[in-house]
Amino acid sequence: EDQVTQSPEALRLQEGESSSLNCSYTVSGLRGLFWYRQDPGKGPEFLFTLYSAGEEKEKERLKATLTKKESFLHITAPKPEDSATYLCYPYNFNKFYFGSGTKLNVKP
Amino acid sequence: NAGVTQTPKFRVLKTGQSMTLLCAQDMNHEYMYWYRQDPGMGLRLIHYSVGEGTTAKGEVPDGYNVSRLKKQNFLLGLESAAPSQTSVYFCASSYSGQTNQPQHFGDGTRLSIL
């Protein structure tokens, strides 16, 4: 059965403390994966698309990587404004598979 | 550029009441979607539309109806609200239905059914 698991469910970091969020999946016919950011009371906001194993994308303090079985969102020297829920959505030809997200809290 | 706009933002209903949620997009997207988001769960697709005048069922369509009379608008209706429909509802749109197209989301409607 196709499924997505994001870990940890919640992560608390001090400002400047780097870490990584994990998205592991079993999706038949994987074509790619999206990362989104969701702030409280807002809708998901698109961050990255990754298409193939080995691909990396960067945006400010975020770097997303992709393997055949999982994706990582690395956060380098995070700031309080990086606090949000991060969602991964692998997809195949037919549909998206929505993870439940990692809630990141960065303390000053 | 407003993107995807949802109204209302909040609503409280009594069991058995009906209501309509409105989604409007100004990006000329063909595809539009309605999702619900519940605590600890990923987004679940309720209904979607591949173009003006067409709709289709998603994963959890029971208890909901939709209409897309204009390309820019997608309406979600609850005919007889039930407490199990308490959730946050998100509308999204995309340029095409290909899954490699990222979806653009509204900010949600928080609906409570008492």
Q: State the pLDDT at residue B113.
A: 97
**Is A59 near chain B, with CB under 8 Å?**
no
Residue B63 scores a pLDDT above 80? yes
Backbone angles phi and psi of A54, in degrees to 5: 95, -15
Nearest alpha-carbon partner for B60 in B76, B74, B73, B75? B76
User: Would you call A28 an interface residue with chain B, using a CB distance cutoff of 8 Å?
Assistant: no
Chain A residues within an 8 Å CB radius of B108:
41-43
Contact A28, A92 (CB under 8 A): yes
pLDDT digits (tens, 9 = 90+) for A33-45: 999 999 999 999 9
Measured in angstroms, the CA of B25 and the nearest CA of chain A are apart by: 14
Q: Which residue has the tokens 């992709």?
A: A66
Of residues B99, B102, B108, nearest to A43 (C-beta): B108
**Beta-carbon contacts of residue A1 (< 8 Å; ≥ 6 apart):** A26
pLDDT at residue number A68 = 86
Alpha-carbon span B5 to A81, nearest angstrom = 24
Mark yes or no for CB contact B108/A41 under 8 Å: yes
Q: Which chain A residues contact residue B56 at CB under 8 A?
A: none
A45-63 pLDDT, tens digit each: 999 999 999 999 999 999 9
Largest separation between any pair of C-alpha atoms in chain A: 42
Q: Which residues of B touch A (CB under 8 A)?
A: 4, 40-44, 90, 92, 99-100, 102-108
Contact B42 A51 (CB under 8 A): no
- The band of B1, judged by pLDDT with boundaries at 50, 70 and 90, is low
Q: Cβ contact (<8 Å) for A91 and B99?
A: yes
Distance from CA of B48 to the nearest CA of A (A): 12
* Residue B70 to chain A, least CA–CA distance (Å): 23
pLDDT at A1: 76
Q: Alpha-carbon Rg of chain B, whole angstroms?
A: 13
Per-residue pLDDT, B23 = 98
pLDDT of chain A, 108 residues: tens digit per residue: 778 999 999 999 999 999 999 999 998 888 899 999 999 999 999 999 999 999 999 999 999 999 989 999 999 999 999 999 999 999 887 778 888 999 999 999
Distance CA A87, CA A103 (A): 9
Give me chain B's average pLDDT, please. 93
